Chains A and B, each alone.
Chain A
Amino acid sequence: MYPRGIKRKCLDPEEVDGSFADLKTVPSYTLERQSLLDMSLVKLQLCHMLVEPNLCRSVLIANTVRQIQEEMTQDGSWPVFHNHKPDYQAPLEHLVSSDVLCRSSREQDDSKPIEDSYIAYSEELEVQETQEISELSTVPSVKALQNSSGFWEVETPQENKAHFQKSLDHIFESLENRNASAMEDLFSEVDTSYYDLDTVLTGMMGNSKLGHCEMLDSLSPQAAPHSHCKAEMNEIDHIVEILVES
């Protein structure tokens, strides 16, 4: 009954009539598609903040973003990413990746006793921890990245670019707020969440391809026990510290 222009109804009820044939090129359509994208990205961002988001909802939102991305790529309004500049792709790709959505569900291998995996992964832990430190150190450069003219230099209409920038600005803003005020609380309450936030931040700001890949690696299911072990390791460290102090 209604083609993709359906969402126009709620945003712009006056413009429901008219042919849908050239809808995708109508400015209001692209505007509304853009606002749907913005909305979805904010929702996704909020999912990332949760330790264990509603997976069904997150997956459906991520699929919606993919769908919009696909359509925008087809009609050329999606920022075109060149092969020699793969960095641009990182932020959104990362946001949509379901892996991040499910990151909280890092599983301990049921069949494997924890002790075994602890020993097996203990060596890699150190490596991973140092990586995280380096990833964290990229956070302060957020503003610089955002303002750098090269970062969002893409061959798209100015308008779209502005919107795109706006949506991301919003996310940056919420991230920064969270970063400033809630970060410490998070650290104190949930010892794994800094890791989560970290991955989100690095995913969003990841300006080096290397960093992005590392982050994905650390999240991949094969590597999942690492993080679980890391939590355990931290606990042990903590105990050791207390012992030393006493």
Chain B
Amino acid sequence: MKCFSRYLPYIFRPPNTILSSSCHTEADIISTVEFNNTGELLATGDKGGRVVIFQREQESKNQPHRRGEYNVYSTFQSHEPELDYLKSLEIEEKINKIRWLPQQNAAYFLLSTNDKTVKLWKVSERDKRPEGYNLKDEEGRLRDPCTITTLRVPVLRPMDLMVEATPRRVFSNAHTYHINSISVNSDYETYMSADDLRINLWNLEITNRSFNIVDIKPTNMEELTEVITAAEFHPHHCNTFVYSSSKGTIRLCDMRSSALCDKHSKLFEEPEDPSNRSFFSEIISSISDVKFNHSGRYIMTRDYLTVKVWDLNMENRPIETYQVHDYLRSKLCSLYENDCIFDKFECVWNGSDSVIMTGSYNNFFRMFDRNTKRDVTLEASRENSKPRAILKPRKVCVGGKRRKDEISVDSLDFTKKILHTAWHPSENIIAVAATNNLYIFQDKVN
């Protein structure tokens, strides 16, 4: 991409919120970020199996600049390291994905998953406690029956707000391979979990049974050349879902056609450009994330170097292709050598589907405006993120002479990668996970 625009419809200022632990361990690395359906809450999962939920503060008139900052609401240990005794294999506690369920009462529900087990968590508030029991004193000790002379009615008294997270369902023993995606269906009763070779359909109430809806495991495993990399339900049609593969294809399936969706309804695939062919062609075309837009008309996919937007009505090529970091095309060999080429970048839509965001290396992340075709590279870093400062677009020097403010491809830090980002469902607030730091940026206050 030649033109790096210096403008974007939305300028994000670092708030307020850079949430991190000062000295971090492997366990602190954020592995997933997700807003809930209203945007009031933001959940992160990490390699240590923890889930941290942030809640947006109510706006206050006295401090207009502190507009809706996110503060820690609840923290809990979702998954613990386990041992699979049959395989003598340790199951990591790392949270691979979090998905919120639509809110139906005062409590919030979310699904979190590691490699093998999905859990349904209830997060609820308690700000009152019962007082005045007949048989127990205030500390909860049983009272001597002789001292009880009168009967009284216990009353609820206000107390400090307490947020509790309780596991409501544990969906286990259904995946032999590693779960890479979970997706809640629009019927709000079922959800699916996808691993490398299979996709299962669950009822949220039933933990001991799931239905296998996709199985690409060949009878002879020697013939295995393709794996499932991501899957998602259509936002409105509860019978439709898509899954992507390591060969760069996206399959749309209709659960009405058969119980086991062996045959896809649509196959989205772009013919390979012969001029760009290399030994790494297949690896870089492997899709790392797939997302329906809010209306369900388009699908966005992320592969190693690009983001593509597909129209559900056109299978033979994407309608839009955006280069995320095309300058890495000449570095593929070293990226293969150091395994970066297998990094799984995710991608997100903004609330109105007009802007796309995805991550890159060197703590850079990219935004593409679909209407104006302008794009911007921004950086999530402590140094550049003074409160209420405006993020400066960054530019990577592609060949030729490096100008001031530009960074050369060779000095990019490939250990600082932004794999997970999230966009508020209706406002221009974004959450960017950079290793163990979570940055929350919002557009400029007028």
Measuring CB to CB, which residues of chain A are less than 8 angstroms from any residue of chain B? 1-7, 9-11, 33, 36, 39, 51-52, 54-57, 59-60, 62-64, 66-68, 97-99, 101-102, 104-108, 110, 189-193, 216, 219-222, 228, 231-232
Give A71's nearest chain B residue, CB to CB. Answer: B279
Q: Which B residues are in CB contact (< 8 Å) with A33?
A: 279
- On whether the beta carbons of B332 and A6 are closer than 8 Å, the reply is yes
Complex CA–CA separation, A190 to B84 (angstroms): 11
B352 at the interface (CB under 8 A from A): no
- On whether the beta carbons of A99 and B227 are closer than 8 Å, the reply is no
Q: Which A residues are in CB contact (< 8 Å) with B224?
A: 59, 98-99, 101-102
What is the CB-to-nearest-CB distance from B439 to chain A, in angstroms, rounded to a whole number?
Answer: 28
Complex interface residues of chain B between 194 and 245 (CB less than 8 A to chain A): 196-197, 217, 219-227, 229
Complex CA–CA separation, A3 to B274 (angstroms): 8
Q: Which A residues are in CB contact (< 8 Å) with B337?
A: 39
What is the CB-to-nearest-CB distance from A117 to chain B, in angstroms, rounded to a whole number?
Answer: 12
- On whether the beta carbons of B177 and A55 are closer than 8 Å, the reply is yes
Q: Which B residues are in CB contact (< 8 Å) with A4?
A: 277-279
Q: Which B residues are in CB contact (< 8 Å) with A97?
A: 221-222
B414 at the interface (CB under 8 A from A): no
Contact of B332 among A7, A67, A98, A99 (CB under 8 A): A7
Complex CA–CA separation, A242 to B223 (angstroms): 43
Contact of A39 among B86, B87, B329, B336 (CB under 8 A): B336
Complex interface residues of chain B between 83 and 113 (CB less than 8 A to chain A): 86-89
Q: Which B residues are in CB contact (< 8 Å) with A222?
A: 219
Q: Which A residues are in CB contact (< 8 Å) with B219?
A: 221-222
Complex CA–CA separation, A189 to B334 (angstroms): 35
- On whether the beta carbons of B282 and A60 are closer than 8 Å, the reply is yes
What is the CB-to-nearest-CB distance from A174 to chain B, in angstroms, rounded to a whole number?
Answer: 17
What is the CB-to-nearest-CB distance from B251 to chain A, in angstroms, rounded to a whole number?
Answer: 16
- On whether the beta carbons of A67 and B279 are closer than 8 Å, the reply is yes
- On whether the beta carbons of B177 and A6 are closer than 8 Å, the reply is no
B415 at the interface (CB under 8 A from A): no
B263 at the interface (CB under 8 A from A): no
B22 at the interface (CB under 8 A from A): no
Contact of B282 among A11, A57, A67, A102 (CB under 8 A): A67
- On whether the beta carbons of A221 and B221 are closer than 8 Å, the reply is yes
Complex CA–CA separation, A79 to B280 (angstroms): 23
Whether A60 contacts B88 in the complex (CB less than 8 A), given A6-B330, A221-B219, comes out as no
Measuring CB to CB, which residues of chain B are less than 8 angstroms from any residue of chain A? 86-89, 173-174, 176-178, 196-197, 217, 219-227, 229, 246, 275-280, 282-283, 286, 329-334, 336-337, 339, 342
- On whether the beta carbons of A57 and B342 are closer than 8 Å, the reply is yes
Whether A60 contacts B286 in the complex (CB less than 8 A), given A55-B177, A193-B88, comes out as yes
User: How many residue pairs bridge A and B at CB < 8 Å?
Assistant: 127
Question: What DSSP secondary structure best describes chain B's contact surface?
Answer: loop
Q: Known contacts A55-B177, A59-B225; can you find 4 more A-B pairs with CB under 8 A?
A: A6-B278, A60-B246, A102-B224, A228-B86
Selected A-B contacts with CB under 8 Å, 10 pairs: A36-B333, A59-B227, A60-B342, A63-B225, A98-B223, A99-B224, A104-B89, A106-B87, A189-B88, A192-B88
Give B178's nearest chain A residue, CB to CB. Answer: A55
- On whether the beta carbons of B227 and A55 are closer than 8 Å, the reply is yes
Give A232's nearest chain B residue, CB to CB. Answer: B86
Give B180's nearest chain A residue, CB to CB. Answer: A56
Give A2's nearest chain B residue, CB to CB. Answer: B278
Q: Which B residues are in CB contact (< 8 Å) with A219?
A: 221
What is the CB-to-nearest-CB distance from B212 to chain A, in angstroms, rounded to a whole number?
Answer: 9
- On whether the beta carbons of B276 and A1 are closer than 8 Å, the reply is yes
- From A1, A97, A191, name the one whose CB has the most chain B CB atoms within 10 angstroms: A1
Give B283's nearest chain A residue, CB to CB. Answer: A60
- On whether the beta carbons of B196 and A1 are closer than 8 Å, the reply is no
What is the CB-to-nearest-CB distance from A170 to chain B, in angstroms, rounded to a whole number?
Answer: 15
- On whether the beta carbons of B342 and A99 are closer than 8 Å, the reply is no
What is the CB-to-nearest-CB distance from A56 to chain B, in angstroms, rounded to a whole number?
Answer: 5
Q: Which B residues are in CB contact (< 8 Å) with A51?
A: 87-89
Complex CA–CA separation, A1 to B330 (angstroms): 10
- On whether the beta carbons of A55 and B88 are closer than 8 Å, the reply is no
Give the 3 A-B CB pairs with smallest separation, nearest first: A98-B224, A99-B221, A7-B333
What is the CB-to-nearest-CB distance from A224 to chain B, in angstroms, rounded to a whole number?
Answer: 9
Q: Which A residues are in CB contact (< 8 Å) with B86?
A: 108, 228, 231-232
Complex CA–CA separation, A191 to B88 (angstroms): 7
What is the CB-to-nearest-CB distance from A212 to chain B, in angstroms, rounded to a whole number?
Answer: 12
- On whether the beta carbons of B220 and A221 are closer than 8 Å, the reply is yes
Q: Which B residues are in CB contact (< 8 Å) with A54?
A: 178, 342
Contact of A98 among B178, B225, B336, B342 (CB under 8 A): B225
Q: Which B residues are in CB contact (< 8 Å) with A9?
A: 330-331, 333
Complex CA–CA separation, A72 to B151 (angstroms): 91
Q: Which B residues are in CB contact (< 8 Å) with A36?
A: 279, 333, 336
Q: Which B residues are in CB contact (< 8 Å) with A59?
A: 224-227, 246
- From B223, B283, B336, name the one whose CB has the most chain A CB atoms within 10 angstroms: B336
Complex CA–CA separation, A59 to B333 (angstroms): 18
- On whether the beta carbons of A56 and B277 are closer than 8 Å, the reply is no
What is the CB-to-nearest-CB distance from A243 to chain B, in angstroms, rounded to a whole number?
Answer: 20
Whether A98 contacts B221 in the complex (CB less than 8 A), given A6-B333, A55-B178, comes out as yes
Contact of B278 among A7, A110, A193 (CB under 8 A): A7
Complex CA–CA separation, A163 to B401 (angstroms): 39
Complex CA–CA separation, A51 to B337 (angstroms): 22
What is the CB-to-nearest-CB distance from A130 to chain B, in angstroms, rounded to a whole number?
Answer: 23
Complex CA–CA separation, A231 to B332 (angstroms): 42
- On whether the beta carbons of B176 and A107 are closer than 8 Å, the reply is yes
Contact of B196 among A10, A39, A55, A191 (CB under 8 A): A55
Contact of A6 among B196, B286, B329 (CB under 8 A): B329
Give B173's nearest chain A residue, CB to CB. Answer: A110
- From B224, B246, B275, name the one whose CB has the most chain A CB atoms within 10 angstroms: B224
- On whether the beta carbons of A56 and B333 are closer than 8 Å, the reply is no
Give B89's nearest chain A residue, CB to CB. Answer: A51
Q: Which A residues are in CB contact (< 8 Å) with B336?
A: 36, 39
Whether A99 contacts B222 in the complex (CB less than 8 A), given A4-B278, A56-B246, comes out as yes
Q: Which A residues are in CB contact (< 8 Å) with B174?
A: 110
Complex CA–CA separation, A57 to B286 (angstroms): 10
What is the CB-to-nearest-CB distance from A129 to chain B, in angstroms, rounded to a whole number?
Answer: 18
Q: Which B residues are in CB contact (< 8 Å) with A10?
A: 330-334
